[in-house]
Structure 1
Amino acid sequence: MILTVTLNPAVDKTYRTGELFPGRVNRMRSVDNIPGGKGINVSKILRQYDYEVTATGFLGGYQGRWMEDQLDRLKIRSAFVQVDGETRTSMNIVADNGYVTEILEPGPHISDTQLKEFMQKFASLAEESGLVILSGSAAPGIPTDIYARLIRSASSMGKQVILDTSGELLKEGVKAAPSVVKPNRKELEYIIGRRLQDMNDIKDASSVLLSDGVGLVIVSLGDKGLLLAGKGRCLYARVPRVTALNTVGCGDSVVASLAMSMTSGADIEEMLRKAAAVSAANATTLESGNVPLKLAEEILRDIHIEEI
C-alpha cells in the first residue's frame, strides 16, 4: 500500500480554447472535470500501474463528495478528513497557441481541530503503508511546518517518504530529511537562496540537501529533462521531443514513477530513466495524471542518461 497526502485537493477543470485574451470575454471550446491536486494525480498514475493506493488529506462540500465518488470509481481508497468549507476548483486553460494558464483557488480553511484529527489519521494510515508521498500546497490554516511534522512521524515508523511541494512548505520539509525530494529548478533556487546558472550549479545545490540528510534529490528541468543526485552519484536524463498538449501533472508523474521504482528496489539509473519516460508521456495528454502506458514504454528506450 502506498499512502498519498493531498492537503489541498481540487476539482481540476481543463478548458480548451484557441487563444486566451485577458480583459475580454473568452468562450471555451470544451471543458473536462477531473479529480486533482498533486497527490491525487500521483494516486491516479499509481492505479494505472495497478498499485494499491490510499489517498488522504481534506475534502469538503459538494465537490468533496464528488471527488470521493470519482476516486472510488478509480479504485483509490479515500481516507480524508471532512471539513466545513468547499473543496477548491483549479482552472487549467489550454490554448491552441501553446500557452497554458492556471487559475488556482485557495481552498477551505482548516481548523486546529480538523488538523489534529488529520494528524491522528495520518499516523494510523502511515503505519499500514509501505511508502508515503507528500505532495502539493496546503490549505489555509495549515502551518508551514506540516510536512516536516509528517516526515518525522512517518520516518519514526521506518517509512520512506517522498516530498514534492514548494515555498516555505518545501524549505521546512527538507529540514526533516525525507527519503526523496523533488523540486523544480526555481524551487531548488528558493531553498538554496541563489540563482542556479547551469547543471553544475544544480548539482552543487542538490549536494547541499544531501549533506543535510535528504536521501535523493531529483530536479525537474521541464523539457530539458531530469537531474537525480544521490550519495556519490549525479545523473542527468535527456528526454526525446514529444508533442506536449498539457504539462500539468508531469512532476506528479515523476513522483509516481519514483515511488514504483523505490518499492521494486530499482537502482538510481533505472529509477531516473523510468521517471523521465513516464513524465514525457504524461505531457502528451490533456488530462493531468493520465499516462499513455504504451507510449511511456516506447519513450523509455530513447532516454539518454549521462553522469555529471
Structure 2
Amino acid sequence: MIYTITANPSIDYVLQLDAMTVGEVNRTTSDVKLPGGKGVNVSRILNELALDSTALGFVGGATGEMFENLLQQHQLNTNFTKVSDDTRINVKINAVKQNEETEINGTGPKITADEKAEFIKLLKKVGNGDVVIMSGSLPKNIETTFYLDIAKMIQAQGADFVIDTTGQALLDTLPLHPLVVKPNNHELAELFDTTFKNEQDIVDNARKLLDQGAKHVLVSMAGDGALLVTKDKVFKANAPKGTVINSVGAGDSMIAGFVGTFMKTNDPIESFHIGAACGSATAFSQDIAVKSKIDEVYQAINISQVN
C-alpha cells in the first residue's frame, strides 16, 4: 500500500480574472474550489493510474468538512485525523491578460499533542512492502523534524519512504535511504552551493545524493526535460511539446507516477517514463492530470540513456 501524508491540506480557491488591480474591487471570470495539498495531489494521480493509496493528514472544522467533500468527488481512500482547528484556505489568483499568478496561503490549524498522537497511531500498521510519501508544508506548531521522525519510525517497521522537500531537510533524510528524491536543477545546485555549466555537472551532483543514501534521484529541468540517475546509469526524458497551464502539482504528479509504477513493476526506467508523463500532463492541465492526458503525453516522451 502507498500512504500519502499531507500534514497541512487546504481548500484551494482558484480565481481567474482578466487583470487584477490592487486596492480596487476586482471581479472574476471564473472560480473553482479544489482539494489542495501535495500528498493529496499524489493520491489523485495514483488514482488516475488505478493504483491504490490511502491519504492521511489533519483536517478540521467546517472547512475540513468541505475539504473531505471535495475529495469524495475523486473517490480517494482517506483516513484523515480530525482536529479542532479549521483546515486552511489558500487563494490563488490568475490574472490572464497580465500573465501573473498570485497566491495567498493560510497558515493552517494548530495541532494538539493528542491529535498528533492519534495521527501517529495510524502509521503503526505500515510495514514491509509499503511506501509512505510525505510532502507539503507543516501546520504552524508542528516541529520541523516531523517528517524525518516519521521516516525513522516507518523505516524501522520495514517500509520505504519518500520525502518531497529541499535543502538541509532533504540531506538529513539521505542516511535513511529514501526510495527516490526529486530536486529540480536549481534546488540541486543550491544543495551543494554551486552552479551548473552543463548536463554532466547536474549528473555529478545528483550522484552525490546517491552516495549519501538515496536509492534513485530524479532531477526535473523544466523545458530541458528530466534525468533519472541510478547507481550505474543515467537516463533522460525529453520535455514534450505543450502549453504550460498549471505548474502546481507537476512535481507531485511526477513522484506519484514514479513511485506507483516502481511499486508495481520494480522497473526504474518505466517508472521514470510514466512519472515524466504524469508531471508534464499536469503542467498541461487546469488541474491534476487525468488518465487520458497522461496516456497522450506518455506517447510524446522518449527515454534515452545518457553516456
Question: What is the TM-score of this pair, normalised by structure 2?
Answer: 0.90
Cα distance in 1 between the residues matched to 2:197 and 2:25: 40
2:297 corresponds, among 293, 296, 299, to 299
Q: Would you say the 8 A contact 1:20–1:26 is kept in 2?
A: yes
Aligned-partner SS, 2:214: coil
1:142-193 deviation digits (Å, cap 9, x = unpaired): 2222222222222222222222123454343334321111222333234323
In structure 1, runs of 5+ residues without a counterpart are none
Question: In structure 1, how many angstroms separate the alpha carbons of the residues matched to 2:178 and 2:64?
Answer: 29
Q: How does 1:134-283 map to 2 (within 5 A)?
A: 134-283=134-283
- Aligned CA distance change for structure 1 residues 52 and 268 (closer, same or farther; 3 Å): closer
* Correspondence for 2:104: 103
Give, in angstroms, the shift of residue 196 of structure 1. 3.8
d(CA) in 2 for partners of 1:154, 1:115: 16
Matches within 5 A, 1:10-49: 10-49=10-49
Give 2:159's aligned amino acid.
Answer: K
- CA deviations over 1:188-218 (Å, ceiling 9, x no partner): 2343233444322221221111011110111
Unaligned runs of 5+ in 2: none
Number of equivalences: 305
CA distance in 1, matches of 2:209, 2:164: 14
Cα distance, 1:129–1:307 mapped onto 2, change above 3 Å? closer
Pairwise CA RMSD of aligned residues? 2.2
Normalised by the length of structure 1, the TM-score is: 0.90
Q: Secondary structure at the match of 1:140?
A: coil
Q: Deviations over 1:255-288 (max 9, x none)?
A: 110122112225222222211112111122212x
Shift of residue 22 of structure 1?
4.2
The separation in 2 between residues aligned to 1:219 and 1:194, in whole angstroms, is 16
Deviation at 1:123, TM superposition (A): 2.5
Relative distance call for 1:217 and 1:303 in structure 2 (3 A) is same
Farther-moved stretch of structure 1 (261-270 vs 206-215): 261-270
SS at structure 1 position matched to 2:66 = helix
